[in-house]
Amino acid sequence: MAESYEMSDDEKQEIIEEFLAESDQYLQSLNDCLLKAEELIKGGQTVEKDDINLMFRAAHTIKGTASFIDLTTISHLTHEMETVLDRIRNDQMDFTVEAIDVLFAAFDSLSALLERLKTEGDDQGDVSESLEKIRQILSGEAPAAAEEPVAAEKPAEPAVEEPQEVVPEESEASSESDEELEKYWAAFIEDTQQNIERFDEILLNMEKGDFKPDYLNELFRISHTIKGSSGIVKRRDLEMLSHKMEDILSGMREKEEPPAEHITTLLFKGIDWIKETVNEIQSGKRQERDPGELVQEFEKLLAAEAASPAGASEVSAPADQGQAPAIDINALNSEQAIKLEEARGLKQAVYNLTIAVSEKCPAKSMKAMLAKERLSKEGIIIAMVPEETAIDDSSTAKVSIQFLYSTSESQEGIPAFVSIDEIELVSLDKIDMAEEKPAEPAVAEPKAAAAAPAAAAKPQAAQKPVKKEAAKEKQSKSAPVEVTSMRVDVRKLDNLMNLAGELVITRARFSQLLLELRNEVSSTRQTIDKFREIENSLMGLKMKTAETVSSAEANGGQDRDELKKMIETIGQKFQDTSRQTSTKLITEKIYNMDEATRNLEKLSSDIQNGVMQTRMVPIEGVFSRFKRLVRDIAKEIKKDVKLDIYGEDTELDKKITDELGDPLTHMIRNAVDHGLENTEERKATDKPQQGTVTLGAMHKGNNICIEISDDGKGLDPDKIANKAFEKEIITEDALEQMSDREKMGLIFAPGFSTAEQVTGLSGRGVGMDVVKKMIESLNGTVDIESEMGQGTSFKLKIPLTLAIIQALLVVIDNEVFALPLESVSEIVKVMPDEVYRIEGTATIKLRDHTLSLVELEKVIQIEQKKIGADDERRVVVITDGENQVGICVDELIGEDEIVIKSLPVHFTNVIGISGASILGDGRICLILDVGAIIKEAQ
Amino acid sequence: MSRKLLLVDDAPIIRLKLKNILQAQNYEVVGEANNGVEAIEKYKELKPDLVTMDIVMPEKDGIEALGDILKIDSNAKVVMVTAIDQRDSLMKAIQLGAVDYIIKPFEDERVIEAINKAAG
């Protein structure tokens, strides 16, 4: 029998996570499409069918998956969204601004539910408001908050896009669908009223004691028909009630006796309620009514009736949905084996046929049965797994069914047999019987041979494919929209990043060691040369000795022999040693190692880049939320605003995108709320009525530049200066020396806010100072450009990643320091006599302006050689975007990529140092905090 | 060439809905029947390529009508249109030889798919 396959908690969690990730993408496209549609509708244009379909599919897919994992609130809500979108795409409903609002409301509820699912693990949120709005719009009522002003405002503005062509077409289409809908309503009312009359009549007859068994049948049929018709006009209230009535009557008509009085009474109540409702509909009131109490009464009655069971016996079956255990042709039961033999006897081909009943199908077992019937008409079903009786109809999962099927029809003809709605042909493979045969040992005794393995092999055979099928199921689920990404815990990536950093450092260490080794070899070479010399002189000694000895031969051979031996031994040893210390081998090895190290270098930097890439996400994720934000703010403060976005594909570190959301939100709020004038003010100037806020991003070297600009009134430096003075942020003296640019910079001062009236949006206590701090914490900078009357532009410059920076390595006081390359503007040579002092500060002249030199010992605890020593010095000019200072360095090492290691907690307050890194030689190098140094210098 | 359809249902609204859906798909609705008896008469008369058949109807229900039609033409393509709670009848219809079924209330898509597939 079929294996039951239950989801473990882990699996469920995994599916939920996958679902969340998937839903995120769908939400994104929903949001985008809704915004796009809103713009088009407001502009009097038609929304593209593709977009509507996309939205529909998004809602549909979320619904499907949600119901698969029992997220009933989500599936219910998305189902309703889907209904609205479905009507829109089938032109049964106009795509109006109201519809957009309803969908947005539903979208918000859905986001909230998904958020809840993320944090709480369930979807028990309240979505009644959204559902009510959907219900209203579906029933044709105007939702409570209609958006007259915006809708009315637009057409007044003569549209540039040939309105004659577009608008009439749409209105025609909509009136047509209204007409069509009206036709349904008319048919429904007429039809139902007749049925009600007949129902009443019969009930009255029965009450009078005039009973015919056929009456119950008729009553049953009538309620059934009312139910069906109500379904067409989507009147759930009527559908629900008539369904209950039908249920009651269904049980009664088999008894063929007049119903008890309390039942008749209730049926009267029911038909009266339906009558009232239909009359209401006729008079134009299309709002659904709540039949709740009545339905409950029917349910009570049903429960009471159920005590005497007459209903059809339900097939109880194990819940084995979504996966069909594979049929093993070598593990058939006796009955199946006989059928297989029969097929073979007919010389018919045997196929492995898998079909799937779609998840939405309400009566899967019935479809399975239909498929079985249709297949068996054309051939022999040898085996079917699962049997239709084992299919659980209440399941919302896709059900795969596998057949071992034999037919005289050609393989091409088979798909037609299962050409059934909601049934999909998954696979059809011809089984090579010749190949299968040897696997079946006793052909003479097929029953026994086949039956025995059936028992043993089946559970095993069933187990594996279950998983496989489940995986397939998942795949097919995500197939419609390509989801080619997966979720990875950020900590894992962080760890990987860290390891990649270590690898880079280790690689550098290797290069260093290699260098040392080379030096070692060359000194070894010298040693060897020395050996050679000794060897040579030894040879000389040997020869000399031989001469001497031969002349003294007469003195006897023993001493001579010993001496000869000794000298030879020493010579041999020398030779051996010098051969052993031959550098040839080592040189070769070093060469190989050099090559390997170079490979390692390439690989490690590839790995580092790769890991970096995994952390890189398009900024789109952050940007897209602002479309909605701008829309909402604009609506709240009644400004007409459009948001232009560019460069949303620009990628940057996920960690940074996460941090960017808040400051950007604030800046965009400011732009819409303060930056842009209100409509009247804009009218007064020559500006287009619609204000534009631009949000853009682009790569610049290792930085991402983000621009937030508006075409509003611009910043007034004097107004800002006055405000700052009033708030005692700055003294009058200081003000006088400030440039306009510096004055504008005052908006970043703590406690500054230019809002004259605190609206609900800006002025929430979060000022630009906080924004600036947030950006600076990302090693970024903020720059303002503004022109009175023309608009304001904020430019953010943020490093792409927090993990690796390009740095200039310098030596100061025998310590290596790193300066982030983007803050280095140039390096100049300075002769001692070029340094002079202004107000005690060492200064040099850099082209036509002065540059103060920072005395680093005042910032960090190092001893810097005093300027003015005899030799020429190098000065690195650093900048924080506004100010420049110079730092004297003792030595320049060069540019390098360094991996930033954050400092331990107890060092984080050290001013002037922002982090540390490890160099190739294992030395620690501190990274100078340019911003802090410049600030300290002033 | 558009294919000929016969719609059988005792609720005019359902026939109307089916007609609207299917005419848009280039099917030709050649006839409509209110009950099983009419259905058989119309079937003989019009020789439609496909029939949609309600089950619960006065006079003669859809199951009987299906049986009769198949007796007349064993290759008749009949798609049942019924509510989900008519399981037993539906099962009977399938065994008798209905080519597919559509569950009421239906989505347009279901009707189109079922009829398209049945029409082959």
Residues in chain B closer than 8 A to A373 (CB atoms): 94-95, 97
pLDDT value, residue B64: 92
Residue B98 sits at the chain A interface (C-beta within 8 Å): yes
- Give yes or no for residue A759 having a pLDDT over 50: no
Residue B80: pLDDT band (50, 70, 90) is very high
What order do you get walking across the sheet with B50-54 strand by strand?
A: B28-33, B4-8, B50-54, B78-83, B100-104
* % of chain A exceeding 70 in pLDDT: 80
Q: Which of B87, B104, B105 sits opposite A366 (nearest CB)?
A: B87
Residue A120: pLDDT band (50, 70, 90) is confident
A691-700 and A703-710 beta bridge pairing:
antiparallel
Flag the least confident range among A132-136, B62-66, B77-81. Answer: A132-136
Residue B72 sits at the chain A interface (C-beta within 8 Å): no
* Site from A84, A421, A423 to mutate, B interface, most B CB atoms within 10 angstroms: A421
Residues in chain B closer than 8 A to A239 (CB atoms): 105
Across the range A550-564, mean pLDDT stands at 66
Residue B90 sits at the chain A interface (C-beta within 8 Å): yes
Across the range A312-340, mean pLDDT stands at 58
Q: Could you report the per-residue pLDDT of A763-808, keeping only the tens digit for each?
A: 444 577 778 888 887 878 888 888 888 889 999 988 777 667 778 9
Note whether A188 contacts B13, CB cutoff 8 Å.
Answer: yes
- Give yes or no for residue B83 having a pLDDT over 90: no
* Residue A74, C-beta contacts closer than 8 angstroms, at least 6 positions apart: A62, A63, A66, A110, A113, A114, A117, A123
Q: For residue B81, give the CATH number of its domain.
A: 3.40.50.2300
Q: How far is A220 from chain B (nearest CA, A)?
A: 9
Note whether A229 contacts B13, CB cutoff 8 Å.
Answer: yes
Note whether A187 contacts B16, CB cutoff 8 Å.
Answer: yes
Residue B87 sits at the chain A interface (C-beta within 8 Å): yes
pLDDT value, residue A559: 66
Task: Give the nearest chain A residue to B116 (CA atoms).
Answer: A421
Note whether B11 contacts A366, CB cutoff 8 Å.
Answer: no
* Amino acid at position A702, single letter: N
Assign A825 to helix, strand or coil: strand
Flag the least confident range among A138-142, A322-326, A670-674, A855-859. Answer: A322-326
- Give yes or no for residue A349 having a pLDDT over 90: no
Q: Using CA atoms, how far apart are residues A360 and A369, in angstroms rounded to an integer?
A: 17
Q: How far is A232 from chain B (nearest CA, A)?
A: 6
Q: Using CA atoms, how far apart are residues A515 and A203, in angstroms rounded to an integer?
A: 105
* % of chain A exceeding 90 in pLDDT: 3
Note whether A416 contacts B120, CB cutoff 8 Å.
Answer: yes
Flag the least confident range among A155-164, A302-311, A417-426. Answer: A155-164
Tokens of A407: 């037919």
pLDDT value, residue B37: 93
Assign B84 to helix, strand or coil: coil
Q: Which of A183, A220, A362 sits opposite B16 (nearest CB)?
A: A183
pLDDT value, residue A89: 81
Strands (E), B15-120: 28-33, 50-54, 78-83, 100-104
Residues in chain B closer than 8 A to A232 (CB atoms): 13-14, 17, 105
Note whether A228 contacts B14, CB cutoff 8 Å.
Answer: yes
Q: Using CA atoms, how far apart are residues A388 and A357, in angstroms rounded to an integer?
A: 11
Q: Could you report the per-residue pLDDT of A35-83, keeping only the tens digit for each?
A: 888 888 888 888 888 888 888 878 877 877 776 677 888 888 888 888 8
Residue A596: pLDDT band (50, 70, 90) is confident
φ, ψ of residue A21 to 5 degrees: the values are: -65, -45
* Position with higher pLDDT, B117 vs A742: B117
* Alpha helices in A488-556, H assignment, sequence order: 490-551
pLDDT value, residue A324: 44
Residues in chain A closer than 8 A to B50 (CB atoms): none
- Mark A175-185 as b/e (b = at least 16 C-beta within 10 Å): eebeebeeebb
Question: Which of B59, B30, B52, B28 minimizes the C-alpha distance to B42?
Answer: B30
* Position with higher pLDDT, A709 vs A9: A709
* Site from A89, A224, A250, A376 to mutate, B interface, most B CB atoms within 10 angstroms: A224
Q: Using CA atoms, how far apart are residues B56 and A225, in angstroms rounded to an integer?
A: 8
Residue B23 sits at the chain A interface (C-beta within 8 Å): no
Q: Could you report the per-residue pLDDT of A171-192, keeping only the tens digit for each?
A: 333 444 556 667 778 888 888 8
pLDDT value, residue A54: 82
* Position with higher pLDDT, A3 vs A219: A219
* Position with higher pLDDT, B112 vs A746: B112
Tokens of A559: 């001493």
Assign A686 to helix, strand or coil: coil
Task: Give the nearest chain A residue to B88 (CA atoms).
Answer: A312
Q: Which of A14-28, A166-180, A399-413 holds the top average pLDDT?
A: A399-413
pLDDT value, residue B31: 93
Q: Using CA atoms, how far apart are residues A83 and A353, in angstroms rounded to an integer?
A: 34
Across the range A203-231, mean pLDDT stands at 85
Q: Using CA atoms, how far apart are residues B90 and B95, in angstroms rounded to an integer?
A: 9
Flag the least confident range among A18-22, A469-473, A619-623. Answer: A469-473
Note whether A363 contacts B91, CB cutoff 8 Å.
Answer: no
CB pairs under 8 A between A and B: 90
CB atoms within 10 A of CB A683: 12
Residue A518: pLDDT band (50, 70, 90) is confident
Q: How far is A279 from chain B (nearest CA, A)?
A: 17
Residue B96 sits at the chain A interface (C-beta within 8 Å): no
Q: Report whether A214 contacts B58 (CB < 8 A).
A: no
Please work out, in degrees rounded to the nearest 5, the angle formed at the alpha carbon of residue A106 by the alpha carbons of A104 and A107: 60
Residues in chain B closer than 8 A to A190 (CB atoms): 12
Q: Report whether A233 contacts A185 (CB < 8 A).
A: yes
pLDDT value, residue A451: 40
Tokens of B37: 């008896």
Q: Report whether B110 contacts A422 (CB < 8 A).
A: yes
Task: Give the nearest chain A residue to B57 (CA atoms).
Answer: A221
Q: How far is B25 from chain A (nearest CA, A)?
A: 13
Note whether B16 contacts A369, CB cutoff 8 Å.
Answer: no
Q: Using CA atoms, how far apart are residues A779 and A803, in angstroms rounded to an integer?
A: 11
Q: Could you report the per-residue pLDDT of A228-240, keeping only the tens digit for each?
A: 888 888 888 898 8
Q: Which of B16, B83, B100 sits opposite A420 (nearest CB)?
A: B100
Cis amide prior to A386 (ω within 30 degrees): yes
Residue A387: pLDDT band (50, 70, 90) is confident
Residue A168: pLDDT band (50, 70, 90) is very low
How far are the Cα atoms of A158, A211, A355, A541 from residue A547, in angstroms, in the given order? Answer: 123, 151, 104, 10
- Give yes or no for residue A482 having a pLDDT over 60: no
Residue B103 sits at the chain A interface (C-beta within 8 Å): yes
Residue B62: pLDDT band (50, 70, 90) is very high
- Give yes or no for residue A904 having a pLDDT over 80: no
φ, ψ of residue A642 to 5 degrees: the values are: -120, 150
- Give yes or no for residue A427 having a pLDDT over 80: yes
Q: How far is A370 from chain B (nearest CA, A)?
A: 6
Q: Which of A366, A420, A421 sits opposite B91 (nearest CB)?
A: A366
Residue B36: pLDDT band (50, 70, 90) is very high
* Residue A932 C-beta-side C-alpha neighbours within 13 Å: 19
Number of domains within chain B: 1
Q: Report whether A423 contacts A356 (CB < 8 A).
A: yes
Residue A164: pLDDT band (50, 70, 90) is very low
Task: Give the nearest chain A residue to B115 (CA atoms).
Answer: A421
Cut 0.80: pTM above it: no
Q: How far is B49 from chain A (nearest CA, A)?
A: 16
Tokens of A838: 């202004």
For A113-177, the three-class secondary structure string (H helix, E strand, C coil) is: HHHHHHHHCCCCCCCHHHHHHHHHHHCCCCCCCCCHHHHHHHHHCCCCCCHHHHHHHHHHHHHHH
Domain range enclosing B43: 4-119
Residues in chain B closer than 8 A to A180 (CB atoms): 20
Across the range A702-716, mean pLDDT stands at 87
* Residue A479, C-beta contacts closer than 8 angstroms, at least 6 positions apart: none
* Site from B7, B10, B13 to mutate, A interface, most A CB atoms within 10 angstroms: B13
Flag the least confident range among A457-471, A629-643, B78-92, B95-109. Answer: A457-471
Note whether B117 contacts A419, CB cutoff 8 Å.
Answer: yes
Q: What is the mean pLDDT of chain A?
A: 76
Residue B117 sits at the chain A interface (C-beta within 8 Å): yes
Residues in chain B closer than 8 A to A191 (CB atoms): 11-13
Note whether A362 contacts B84, CB cutoff 8 Å.
Answer: yes
* Position with higher pLDDT, A148 vs B99: B99
Q: Which helix (H) or strand (E) holds B87?
A: helix B87-96
Residues in chain A closer than 8 A to B10 (CB atoms): 221, 225
pLDDT value, residue B46: 92
- Give yes or no for residue B51 having a pLDDT over 90: yes
Residue B8 sits at the chain A interface (C-beta within 8 Å): no
pLDDT value, residue A640: 86
Tokens of A479: 């197939």
Note whether A225 contacts B10, CB cutoff 8 Å.
Answer: yes
Q: Using CA atoms, how far apart are residues A646 and A46, in angstroms rounded to an integer?
A: 24
- Give yes or no for residue B66 having a pLDDT over 70: yes
Flag the least confident range among A449-463, A795-809, A848-862. Answer: A449-463
pLDDT value, residue A169: 38
Task: Give the nearest chain B residue to A188 (CA atoms).
Answer: B13
Q: Report whether A880 contacts A930 (CB < 8 A).
A: yes
Residue B24 sits at the chain A interface (C-beta within 8 Å): no
